[in-house]
Amino acid sequence: MTDRESAMDFATRLTCWTQPVVPEPLHGGITNTNFVVRDGDDSYVVRIGDDLPLHGVVRSHEVVVARAAHACGLSPEIIHHQPGAMVMRFVEAKTLTSDDIAKPEMLRRVTELTRKCHDEMANQLRGATLMFWVFQVSRGYIDAAAGGRLTNQLSELGKQNERLERLLGPIQPVFCHNDLLPANFLDDGDSLWLLDWEYAGWNSAMFDLANLASNAELCLDDQTLLLETYLDRSVQPQDTASLQTMKCASLLRETLWSLVQEDHSSLDFDYESYTDDYLARFKAEYASLEAR
């Protein structure tokens, strides 16, 4: 679905409704078109979106993962899916911001939820699942972005991506979310919920932590608290080094993702500004890593 009007019409005609419905646009998504739908006494969120081969997004895999996340108590229940659409129960909750996550108590809760994902998701998943190796993802994006707005910078970004992969070294894979934007966390007053599993897959746990740290723009003290809470021990120099390496990888991947979206997405979003913001942050973080 490319335009909101077509997506709304599709959402209206889903086979799960018990009566005629009127989807209400839910703003904020930068990959999917989302709606809130009331059907009788119940409310639901409808995510409209096809497979995205360029981004490695397979919607059938997303459904499997989202159901496993619900079984772990991480995410709302999926009540319906069909090609191009997924329907989950609506949760009345506050969408978190970077400022929310930077508060020590909330940072601990978010970190514990992330660790629960890593510890428990594998026990709920069955069958073939995907791997999200950020350095390979970035290689694909660099190829896809050739000829675009930042073509003259792609060669150097590719070399930096390879260096980051070498610096990281071997990992112990866990099942990760891989898209820990503040807006993907909801707080209903009692529980936290984690949404949007389209990029989920096996990865280094440190990527999720770094992804959270970079997307929420956590300061150094907050990053230390993040690591202490997740590792349940004092932070060692190698922990900090791994986090910074993966922060660079996360910032680079987000930059390249947005750069590709500039030429391939039809959603109404200012991808150019998003690209430029993340590119500046990547360059600053990479310079800091090189100066260590």
pLDDT of residue 203: 97
Task: Read off φ and ψ for residue 94, nearest 5 degrees.
Answer: -90, 130
pLDDT of residue 74: 98
pLDDT tens across 71-114, in order?
Answer: 999 999 999 999 999 999 999 999 999 999 999 999 999 999 99
Residue 124 has pLDDT above 70, yes or no: yes
Contact 211, 252 (CB under 8 A): no
pLDDT tens across 222-255, in order?
Answer: 999 999 999 999 999 999 999 999 999 999 999 9
Q: Per-residue pLDDT averaged across 136-141, rounded?
A: 97
Contact 258, 274 (CB under 8 A): yes
Residue 36 has pLDDT above 90, yes or no: yes
* Percentage of the chain lying above the pLDDT 90 cut: 91
- Contacts of 214-221 with CB under 8 Å at 24 or more apart are 214/247, 214/250, 214/251, 214/254, 214/281, 214/285, 215/98, 215/180, 215/181, 215/182, 215/250, 215/254, 216/98, 216/101, 216/102, 216/182, 217/98, 218/101, 218/102, 218/107, 219/102
Which among 13, 43, 51 is positioned nearest to 26, based on CA atoms? 43
* Entry pTM: 0.93
Q: Tell me how crowded residue 277 is: count the other CB atoms within 10 A of its CB.
A: 15
Residues paired with residue 57 on neighbouring β-strands, in sequence order? 52
Residue 1 has pLDDT above 50, yes or no: no
pLDDT of residue 267: 79
* Percentage of the chain lying above the pLDDT 70 cut: 98
* Calpha distance 140→135 (Å, rounded): 9
**78 class by beta-carbon count within 10 Å (0-12 exposed, 13-18 middle, 19+ buried):** buried
**pLDDT greater at residue 137 or residue 29:** 137
Average predicted confidence (pLDDT) for the chain: 95
Contact 167, 197 (CB under 8 A): no
